[in-house]
Amino acid sequence: MFKRHSGSAFCESIRTPPTEAKRAELRAHLKKFRFPRTSPSVSTTNITNRKRSPESHSTNMGERSTAHDGMFPNVDIPDPQDNLATGFGGPDDGACFSRANMSPELGLRPDHCMFHYMFRYHLSVESIKRLRHKVLSSSLDKCTFIVYVDDDQSPTGYPTQMLGRIEKPKKGSPLFGTAAFQKLARRRLPHLVPKVWGVGKTRTMGGEELHYLLSQHYTNVTTVADIWDSLDEAARGAVLRQVAKAMSSLQNVRIGEGQRGKRDWEILRELPISDEPIDQDLPMFGGPRVGFFQNMHAFLHDRLRSINDPYDLYNDRDGCVVLQTRYPGRPAAEQQRVNFTPENLRLLQDATVICHDDLEPRNILVRMTPGTLNNPGFKLVAIINWDSACFAPFASEAACKDVNLGLRNKNATWYENWKFATGKLFDKYPDRESQEKLAMALHIADHCQALSPWLESEVRLQKMWLERERLEMAESSLDGYMRKPVKDLDELEFETLGILEDEVLVEEARNQLGFILI
């Protein structure tokens, strides 16, 4: 089902009325993130300790970084298919080390027992014990860290540092799916996608199974989010042109077609990225986090599936997939309808490509360079965080960008530049009507979900943010939001207070969420 995805975990978790057990779980989650609320049972101390230091960089697959170390050189090898390890059989012996790997205060942490299963075919036991690591972010069910290997330990051709991720197993093994899409993308963009050094299963000293992913780590880099406000329009345009060029290359991937396509397919088949077996004779749609589907018909029914929302999704006698709204209190003339004909479904199926689905400034790494007249002063280094990647028509990614604007993503100038730079990607497909219908259907599904009383606070936050930025939906769903013209100087001056206003909007939304969960 197509879901609204705000920046707060609570906005997603209160989509349906919670049970008492769920309320307790949400309170614990609330306490962990330290959202402000009036209940004395939730501590709001040490909030300042969570702020980023000036030298901190968010290079850990899109999550917030709390540490950065650029002392070690970045090393990679030419062959994007060579891996340090791929171990899906899981742990099969009882190696045990004394270091604890988790505590309620610190969350999940790597230990030498986990490293044993990751590196046992490449390093000796003594070398594994000498491995060092630095935790970047941690929670009770996942952790991101940098692992350092001494020069005299590192196998020939491998780096002395890697970005590691461990997480508790989830349905569909999404971390393995991240590795698969990252490998696919790197085959087309070896200079922009982190190399996968290892992926598989490991075990804690207590015997608990975890999934791990080892990726290329970049040093002396920063995210576009950290420098965006300091860039002029020319530099911003240069960033987006490079990103759009990379996206265009990804859209040329055709799984199973030609020799390269067959190798792409083997990448998917070698990883357990789905609970269901993948049939190589069938087309593939979706991804590890939304599920895999055999055809566009099944993909649409899942993405647009309604539970309690005011619209119906059904198949008519002509083989069409129909979305029909039933807004309460509105006449038939004001209801909306999207009709996907069999031809629309076929054309959307042909237009399915690899979508990153989270191309935001926080997930794009650059390295600063001396600026010149023809050089914007930075170099695009990597596109990270492939957790949301999937196979879908590009209209799906464009619609997700619209839905998240003002919630998870609050950078209006990035959004405008992204829309302008990627608009030409739709020209690669002669059938714009089918893409338009898909974007419209996703917008309608999101609008209907927004009518739920459980989403009142996030809907209000998004509405206030869009009004402040003077953004309104264009007539064409593919165009997304467009900025209204400034009427007077007072309105323009109000716009410059956007950063301060964001704090007010978020504070109000957090207070409302705390009130709901009490």
Q: State pLDDT tens for residues 124-142.
A: 888 888 899 999 999 999 9
Return d(Cα 173, Cα 403) in angstroms, integer: 26
pTM, entire model: 0.76
Cβ atoms of 311 and 448 within 8 Å: the answer is yes
Cβ atoms of 165 and 144 within 8 Å: the answer is yes
pLDDT of residue 53: 34
**H/E stretch holding 224:** helix 224-227
Q: State pLDDT tens for residues 362-371.
A: 999 999 887 6
Q: State pLDDT tens for residues 339-387.
A: 999 999 999 998 989 999 999 999 999 998 876 556 668 889 999 999 9
- Read off the DSSP letter of residue 150: -
Q: Quick count: other Cβ atoms within 10 Å of Cβ 277? A: 8
Burial class of 425 by CB neighbour count within 10 A (0 to 12, 13 to 18, 19+): middle
Q: Which own/partner contact pairs does 441-444 have at CB distance under 8 Å and 24+ positions apart? A: 441/300, 441/304, 441/323, 441/338, 441/340, 442/2, 442/303, 442/304, 442/395, 442/396, 442/399, 442/400, 442/403, 443/399, 443/402, 443/403, 443/473, 443/477, 444/311, 444/323, 444/325, 444/336, 444/338
**H/E stretch holding 134:** strand 132-138
Ordered DSSP codes for 320-339: -EEEEE--TT--GGG--EEE
- Of 42, 66, 90, the C-alpha closest to 211 is 90
Cβ atoms of 194 and 216 within 8 Å: the answer is yes
Q: State pLDDT tens for residues 278-307.
A: 555 556 788 888 888 888 999 999 989 877
